[in-house]
Amino acid sequence: MVVVLALATAAVMLVEGVAAAREPAAPVVPGTPCSATAVACVDLVGLRAWLFEEGQVLRGPVPISIGAGGEARTPAGRFRVEWKNRDHVSGESGGPMPFAVFFAPGGIAFHEGNLQTKSAGCVRLSREEASAFFDHLQVGDEVQVHDDPAPA
């Protein structure tokens, strides 16, 4: 009886795993490297970002500045907005980080900053764009950061 129950449980788990593996991936939002599940999208190669609403481009592409590389690189991956602070000051450098939206480990955030220089890993935006990202993004929203070329 125990063996039959264990086999039945394993079969259900296998079927559920196969079903989950067959679920279609969310479509890529045209002109971006990100899927429709994202609320914010970052293209590290093209140095641009977007805001999405329900799988549609709401804002962008907008120019960005990113990390200098090495220890100061901007990480690629899928993240979630962790927290926000309109008037944040960096604990590392003491520099201002207005409209900070934190989304990746190590204090990586979207925030207002100089687009002509590299950051310590954050995604810098113009004041207008940083304010828009701050207002639109909510804790828990998905942020996708890609280091592969976006489709044309």
Given the structure tokens 């489709």, which residue do they identify?
Answer: 151
pLDDT at 152: 52
In which element (H, E) is residue 130 found? helix 127-136
pLDDT digits (tens, 9 = 90+) for 10-23: 443 443 444 445 56
pLDDT digits (tens, 9 = 90+) for 20-47: 455 667 899 999 999 999 999 999 999 9
pTM, two decimal places: 0.81
The Cα 98–Cα 93 span in angstroms is 14
Indicate the pairing of strand 40-43 with strand 96-104.
Answer: unpaired
Closest Cα to residue 115, out of 70, 149, 46, 66?
66
pLDDT at 15: 39
pLDDT digits (tens, 9 = 90+) for 74-109: 999 999 999 999 999 998 888 999 999 999 999 999
